[in-house]
Chain A
Amino acid sequence: MAETPFIIQEHQFQRIKNILARLCVECAARVVFLVDRDGQPIAFHGDIGDMDTTSFSSLAAGNVAATSSMAKLIGEDAFPGVVHEGERESIYISVIGRSLLVIVFDERSTVGLVKIRAKRTSFEIAALLDEATHDSDQYRINKNTFFSEITDEDIDSLFS
């Protein structure tokens, strides 16, 4: 059995967007992403240019998955934060429960600043995601949902 779906409602999505927007300003970042640990993009704010955000999200998740496993091999529980520093652009990834907060920044900011601001925001995001998780479960229990109304024809029409 696959896990229960994770559902984000509109109002939660809006709140996430607001949090990311504020964080982006606070740490003078280029762009801030929230990504599911499995690699699904949840939301972002900032200047993405022509960046492929879907690929970026899946690679961020792969990156954290690999470093977390490395942590276990050396007796650490996890690396809660991962930094990649480049010549101009850098990336900070912070693990927040089931999600990853990914901050892309350049020389206008510093790792120190980004870490502090990310940490403060992470509590807010964790609470919001907990709420969404709880709602997702409720949503499934209340059987009369949108999904139970999907018909065979709906599914077949995707493949015609």
Chain B
Amino acid sequence: MTDAAGLALDQLSIALGDRTLLVVDHPVGPGEVLTVMGPSGSGKSTLLAHVGGFLDPAFRARGTVRLDGQDLAPLPPERRRVGLLFQDALLFPHLSVGENLLFGLHPKLKGRAARRAAVEAALAEVELAGFFDRDPATLSGGQQARVALQRSLLAEPRALLLDEPFSRLDAALKSSVRALVFDAVRRRAIPAILVTHDPADAEAAGGPVVTIGGTP
């Protein structure tokens, strides 16, 4: 069981002082999206921070998080290879669109020309061909969301953590960006955790749903 591919949240509980915020015990298979639902303040972002390696020391976590059989606890964030998407695209404002993607692109790909070509291809994949030199602040919300997705995928993550990434998008964009994200998860066969309080997100994700902090 511990050697299974994918992400395993094993008896995971996170407490703040003597208040237990959440308990999750669930595997997430490759290509699967686990949806975690809960009201605001229930600890959804905290859960993702823990998996990503950014948990504030004010919290205490028990249990283990394994990725492809490997315990994540001893790894610093930069060695976990776990991609993050937030409700804001958070493109680096001082870099061009292309430079944002180059920042994410995995270092194993060498050579200026090859790296640039990989970024151009990633842009074309989400219908943003020719956007390399653009200022990210001039992009629409939907375009920014797509760049953010490609930026995290170019780093070749072993898992994706999605912190309400669709909540800022309007209805029409929401479904297309959702499709893009879930499609990427399936095609790359990586596990993903989506936290949200929108039931429509959970339905679109099509995976298992767990609820935290529901009862007062």
A, B bound: no
